[in-house]
Amino acid sequence: MENMFVESSTDTGIDFRVLLTKYLRNWYLFVGFLLFAIGAVFLYTRYSPKVYQVSSVILIKDEKKVLMLGIIFLKI
């Protein structure tokens, strides 16, 4: 009974070989999901509306200032 306790306390590490074997048995699921994800991304980018960034500057002329400057220049 004491021997079982000692074995279980030293076996706390992760056995990567067993873990890798579990994942490699289902390799086709990983490949299938990867192909599905690539197809979904392609369709999403193909049919989503295009969005572009635009910036602009608007020049607003004030008629009063233009007339005042014109009068000043005419006086000179």
| Chain position carrying tokens 């608007």 | 58
Banded pLDDT at 6 (limits 50, 70, 90) = very low
Banded pLDDT at 69 (limits 50, 70, 90) = low
Residue 23: the pLDDT is 86
Quote the DSSP letter at residue 26. Answer: T
- Our count of domains for the chain comes to 1
Question: Which whole-number Å values give the CA distances from 34 to 2, 22, 47, 48, in the listed order?
Answer: 48, 18, 20, 21
Terminal C-alpha separation, the chain = 114
Banded pLDDT at 3 (limits 50, 70, 90) = low
Give residue 9's domain range.
Answer: 2-75
Per-residue pLDDT tens over the stretch 24-44: 999 999 999 999 999 999 999
